[in-house]
Amino acid sequence: MIVPFDYLPKASQGVSQVNNTEGDAFYIVVDGKRIEYELDNNSTVGAGRVRVPMGGDATATVTNIVTVVEPLLEGKVQLYADGAFLDVVARDSNIDLQMGLLAGGSLGGGIVSPPQRVLPTACVMIDRVIYAQDVTRGKVRVYHQMDNVSFANVNVVNGTTLALIPWTGTLLSFPGHIDLVNGGATPYIAGNWVKLIVIGDKYE
């Protein structure tokens, strides 16, 4: 039996590197609603900004960002802590997600394009640009819709020519996401693209 693909609009993923500096400020816009948040250790933040208490290091501060900011995103966007990095992922492919930097810190993010193609509960095909922040943390984390992965295939291509790059890193699979750990003789660089196929199960 042949099951047709469902074609979904653009889905958004972004990654931010947190430097754990007093006054660093960022914004997230979800379907036109803008939230500004600021890292703070003296209870004083800019007007209209959400205060995020600073932790003892960047890892603790990223955890605080998830705790404070995610409840404000109305269930439309999920935040994931990964050490000193913050992954920002739209839950619905129709959600308009934007990220930006107000002061300090380091941030990358944007629309995953071309659109994801999804075969419900069976197969996800994702194209994902590689950001400079991915290279810094040594891995690309790609979020998918599968709870149990039975097969994953990845190609890395040149972002301009689309020529295949013989990437020599390691693919690690987890429920909900895959990590592409950089390394080997031919590592990926910022501006390359990941082309990923995941087959598995989605539990409702």
pLDDT in tens, 59-99: 999 999 999 999 999 888 889 999 999 888 887 767 778 88
- Are 155 and 100 part of one and the same domain? no
Average pLDDT, the chain: 82
Give the mean model confidence (pLDDT) for residues 146-173: 89
Global pTM value: 0.67
Q: What percent of the chain has pLDDT over 90?
A: 41
**Same domain, yes or no, for 98 and 146?**
no
Q: How many CA atoms lie within 13 A of 164 on its CB side?
A: 4
From 111, 135, 152, the end of a domain falls on: 111
Alpha helices, H only, the chain: 58-69, 132-137
Same domain? 30 vs 106:
yes
pLDDT at 1 over 50: no
Asked, for residue 5, whether it belongs to a domain, the answer is: no
**Residue 53 domain boundaries:** 11-111
Residue of 101, 106, 133 lying closest to 26 (CA atoms) = 101
Q: From CA 63, how far away is CA 60, in angstroms rounded?
A: 5
The residue among 123, 132, 96, 101 whose CA lies nearest residue 112 is: 96
**Residue 112: predicted pLDDT:** 40
Both 85 and 152 in one domain: the answer is no
The pLDDT value given to residue 60 = 96
Q: What is the DSSP letter of 4?
A: P
Residues of the chain with pLDDT > 70: what percent? 83
Q: How far apart are the first and last CA of the chain?
A: 23
Last residue of a domain, one of 95, 111, 127: 111
162-170, long-range: CB < 8 A, 24+ apart: 162/193, 165/192
Same domain, 129 and 148: yes
Q: What is the DSSP letter of 130?
A: P
pLDDT tier at 140, thresholds 50, 70, 90: very high
Comparing CA positions, the residue from 127, 203, 131 lying closest to residue 162 is 127
Say if residue 111's pLDDT is above 70. Answer: no
Compute CA distances 63 → 10, 83, 122, whole Å. Answer: 27, 8, 32
103 and 18 in a common domain: yes
Rounded Cα gap, residues 14 and 88, in angstroms = 5
Do 133 and 165 belong to one domain?
yes
Residues 16 and 33 grouped into a single domain: yes
182 pLDDT above the threshold of 80: yes
- Counting the structural domains of the chain, the total is 2
Residue that finishes a domain, picked among 50, 83, 111: 111
Q: Is residue 4 part of a domain?
A: no
132 & 195 share domain? yes
With CA atoms as reference, report the closest residue to 158 among 186, 116, 199. Answer: 186
Same domain, 77 and 128: no
pLDDT of 150? 80
* Cα separation, 174 vs 49, whole angstroms: 34
In a shared domain, residues 28 and 81: yes
For position 88, which CATH number holds? 3.30.70
